[in-house]
Amino acid sequence: MNVTLSMTVDQHEVLRHHLFPGDGLEAAALLLCGGSSHESRYRLSVRDVIRLDHDKCKRLDDRVSWPTDLIIPHLDHAEELGLSVVKVHCHPGNFPQFSEVDDVGDRELLPVVRSWVGADIPHGSIVMQPCGRLFGRYLWQGDGMRSMDMISVAGPDIRLFPASAHNRNYPFARSQDQAFGDGTTATLARLRAGIVGISGTGSPLLEQLIRLGFGEIVIIDPDTVEDRNLNRILNSSVADARAGRLKVDVAEAAAIVTELPTRIIKVASTLMSPAAIHALSVCDVIFGCVDTHTGRFAMNLVSTYHIIPYFDIGVMLDAAGDGDATGRIRDILGTIHYIVPGRSSLMSRDVISLRTVAQEGLADADPEAEAQQVRDKYFRGLSVSRPAVISINMFAAALAVNDLLARIHPYRQMPNSDVGSIEFSLGQLRLTADEEQEDCALLKPWLGHGRISPLLGLPELSEPRA
């Protein structure tokens, strides 16, 4: 089982300030975590950071302990909600592994936590070093503790702390690492990316992630290849369109032909399905290549519930609407939005609105009622589909991938904290970075909740009872 843990940069900062107050002594905290599983992966997402009072703990330079009644209310809370409990403490002396004292403490604490909570979920122990690096282990099925495969911190910079170096041998690793930073290829080989929409921007995006050496890529799309898609889906053919092959099947076949080790996990359904949400929920990064407000809203929810960095790709053609110039392009525009879970959202950035999400839902459930609402001006008109021009879509996809690489190994001259989104205008030859916007009050309360019922809190994602 591959077990990972994710937290936000803000949670990481809360931990760092609490664990390193400047006195050179160990300190401790608890993390209450939601969780989600898919196939052989389990992802813990930090929901609450519980700082254990320094004055109530016995703190030395090589160990920390506390009275049992200090954590009982939090264990009760974890039992009530079915949350994983993870102990965190610091090593002020920068010791880079669990100590013998840690081993004794974890063998005593973690079985008690498992018995107390009762649910069949992992519980763990993490150490933070002065530089902010984290390493951890977990207890789940059986009595042995195993290393967490990855601990990630989602912020303007994406910090990844793998348990060990990846041993895959990529022939292009040396030249790629020279460009973006030592260890880039080995890091990407450990990651699972998710792409929703595998057509216009999703197809070239997938190609780039495979060539970069991602370990696993989830691709989600319910549609088949059609003649009108052939100008923008890489590796598709007229024969595919004639046969009505699924886009995900065409993409998987092309990936297999490369003989590169990336594993493709295909989901031939819409995003609004349990199968798609389960597959996305354990990803390390997700990309949205969707047209609708509903799809983008769901992607934002996945990012929030499971603390996954989210890149949203949008492209628009500005064309003249009347006169002799009807249809003539005035500008080619696009935006790459980078969403840090727990901070701003596509809603607080005014990219999507719940009003239009409701309209799209009504259109699916009752087209006649939706048409009447439009006539009655209760809703604005729905947005049009993405432009079907491969050169534009490939440009936008490459911009998103390079933004990801900049956040894993910063190479830009400006800090990533100044880049909340990137806008481009090909008509004006302009590339503009916009700063982060205000936090989203609607989504922030759901940070790190993991898998709940119904999924993402949406009734339409209710799963049938066994």
Which pLDDT score is estimated for 182? 73
- Pairing between β-strand 430-434 and β-strand 421-425 as defined by DSSP bridges: antiparallel
Q: Report the pLDDT averaged over residues 172-188.
A: 79
φ and ψ of 346, to 5 deg: -65, -20
Q: Does the domain spanning 173-352+385-461 belong to CATH 3.40.50.920?
A: no
DSSP 8-state code for residue 189: T
> 7: which 2 tokens?
């937290």
In 307-411, beta strands by DSSP E: 310-319, 329-339
Q: Alpha carbon of 448 to those of 21, 51, 127, 319: distances in Å?
A: 26, 17, 20, 42
- Are the C-beta atoms of 192 and 282 separated by less than 8 Å? yes
pLDDT band at 59 (very low <50, low <70, confident <90, very high): very high
Strands of 17-97, DSSP E: 28-38, 41-51, 58-59, 64-65, 84-90
95-130 confidence digits (pLDDT tens): 999 999 999 999 999 999 999 999 999 999 999 999
The CATH class of the 2-158 domain is alpha beta
Q: What is the pLDDT of residue 386?
A: 46
Asked whether residue 220 carries a pLDDT value surpassing 60, the answer given is: yes
- What would the pLDDT profile of 192-210 be if each residue is shown by its tens digit? 999 999 998 999 999 999 9
* Percent of the chain clearing pLDDT 90 (strictly above): 78
Q: Are 397 and 334 in contact (CB under 8 A)?
A: no
Render the burial of 98-115: b for 16+ CB within 10 Å, e for the rest. beeebeebbeebbeebbe
Using alpha carbons only, what angle is made at residue 37 by residues 34 and 43, rounded to the nearest 5 degrees?
50
Whether the Cβ atoms of residue 3 and residue 71 lie closer than 8 Å to each other: no
**What average pLDDT does the structure give for the chain?**
90
Please report which residue ranges of 167-201 form alpha helices under DSSP H: 173-180, 184-188
Rounded CA separation 84/122 (Å): 6
Residue ranges covered by each domain of the chain: 2-158, 173-352+385-461
pLDDT at 419 over 80: yes
Q: What is the pTM of this model?
A: 0.93
pLDDT tens per residue across span 235-281:
999 999 999 999 999 999 999 999 999 999 999 999 999 999 999 99
Position with higher pLDDT, 361 vs 366: 361
Long-range contacts of 368-376 (CB under 8 A, 24+ apart): none
Can you give the pLDDT at residue 364? 63
Could you count the other beta carbons within 10 Å of the beta carbon of residue 366?
Answer: 12
Amino acid 175: pLDDT = 79
- pLDDT exceeds cutoff 50 at 377: no
In this structure, the chain runs to a length of 466
CA–CA gap between residue 226 and residue 207 (Å, rounded)? 20
Secondary structure element (H or E) that encloses residue 430, with its range: strand 430-434
Question: Predicted confidence band at 177 (pLDDT cuts at 50, 70, 90)?
Answer: confident
Q: What is the pLDDT of residue 8?
A: 98
pLDDT of residue 357: 87
Encoded amino acid at 408, one letter: I
Q: Does residue 172 surpass a pLDDT of 90?
A: no
Encoded amino acid at 322, one letter: D
More confident site: 368 or 16: 16
Residue 196: which residues within 8 A CB-CB, separation 6 or more?
202, 220, 221, 271, 276, 280, 286, 287, 288, 289, 290, 295, 299
Question: Average pLDDT in the 73-94 region?
Answer: 98
More confident position, 336 or 328: 336
From the DSSP assignment, how many helices (H) and strands (E) are in the chain? 13, 19
Q: Which pLDDT belongs to residue 464?
A: 72
Q: Which residues pair with 224 in a beta bridge?
A: 246
Give the number of other Cβ atoms within 10 Å of residue 223's Cβ.
Answer: 15
| Contact by Cβ (8 Å): 397, 201 | yes
CA distance 161 to 134: 6
* SS3 category, 65: strand
Would you state the pLDDT for residue 325?
52
Smallest CA-to-CA distance from 147 within 174, 125, 131, 169 is with 125
DSSP 394: H
Query: What's the pLDDT at 176?
Result: 78
Check pLDDT > 80 for residue 362: no
* Cα distance from N-terminal residue to C-terminal residue, the chain: 24
Cβ-proximal residues to 303 (8 Å cutoff; 6+ apart), any chain: 286, 309, 310, 339, 341
Average pLDDT over residues 330-354: 94
